């Protein structure tokens, strides 16, 4: 497992990308009173990001400011997986409540919203399946609420995001 984390002294700290190796956990089911053997697929599931460290960072943001950045995630393994983005917020919760996060997935033909809301409320989002060899691109944007109070001045918050995929059985 690879874990890249970068802490910036800023109002918004970046995306942390983890490349994971995942394996199946056997599930036993019963049909007519007999145990079924789980179907196991051998191989690995591995996610690799197009960049290390921060996808976006904001320093000295003022109300109304916006920052954005992009990342591409590729499944370089032999297996497909159930794909998810999780997030953890640290620092000033009141500030995080005034930072609006939007994540959009870009494809060749269109972009689709993945999630939208305050950074303080972001916990995670399911992204469907990532097939072996598949590449998926995401655009992150954060906008500082233009109505934010001066009481937030000097506050700091950070967000760490984790890409995860679990082998499909």
In tens, the pLDDT along 70-114 reads: 999 999 999 999 999 999 999 999 999 999 999 999 988 899 999
Residue spans of alpha helices (H) in the chain? 93-96
Q: What is the mean pLDDT of the chain?
A: 78
Phi then psi dihedrals of residue 146, to 5 deg: -65, -20
The domain segmentation of the chain, as residue ranges, is 2-26+39-167
Alpha-carbon distance values, 115 to 84, 141, 147, 169 (Å)? 12, 11, 22, 27
Select from 166, 151, 138 the least CA-distant residue to 92: 151
Q: Model-level pTM greater than 0.85?
A: no
Answer yes or no: is pLDDT of 14 > 70.
no
**28: pLDDT confidence band, cut at 50, 70 and 90?**
very low
**40: pLDDT confidence band, cut at 50, 70 and 90?**
low
**3: pLDDT confidence band, cut at 50, 70 and 90?**
very low
**33: pLDDT confidence band, cut at 50, 70 and 90?**
very low
What is the predicted pLDDT for the residue at 144? 96
What is the predicted pLDDT for the residue at 152? 93
Architecture of domain 2-26+39-167: Sandwich (2.60)
* Mean pLDDT in residue range 6-25: 25
CB atoms under 10 Å from CB of 118, counted, come to 16
In tens, the pLDDT along 55-64 reads: 888 888 999 9
Tokens 């190796």 found at: 21
């Amino acid at each position: 497992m690879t874990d890249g984390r970068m802490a910036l002294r800023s109002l918004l700290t970046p995306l942390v990308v983890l490349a994971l190796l995942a394996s199946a956990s056997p599930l036993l089911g019963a049909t007519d009173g007999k145990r079924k053997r789980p179907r196991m697929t051998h191989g690995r599931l591995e996610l690799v990001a197009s960049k290390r460290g921060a996808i976006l960072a904001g320093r000295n943001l003022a109300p109304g400011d916006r920052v954005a950045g992009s990342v591409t995630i590729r499944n370089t393994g032999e297996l497909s997986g159930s794909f998810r983005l999780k997030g953890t917020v640290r620092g000033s919760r009141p500030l995080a409540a005034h930072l609006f996060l939007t994540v959009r997935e870009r494809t060749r033909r269109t972009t689709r919203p993945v999630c939208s809301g305050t950074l303080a409320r972001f916990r995670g989002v399911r992204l469907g399946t990532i097939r072996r060899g598949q590449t998926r691109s995401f655009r992150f944007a954060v906008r500082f609420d233009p109505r934010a109070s001066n009481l937030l001045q000097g506050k700091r918050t950070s967000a760490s995001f984790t890409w995860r995929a679990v082998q499909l059985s």
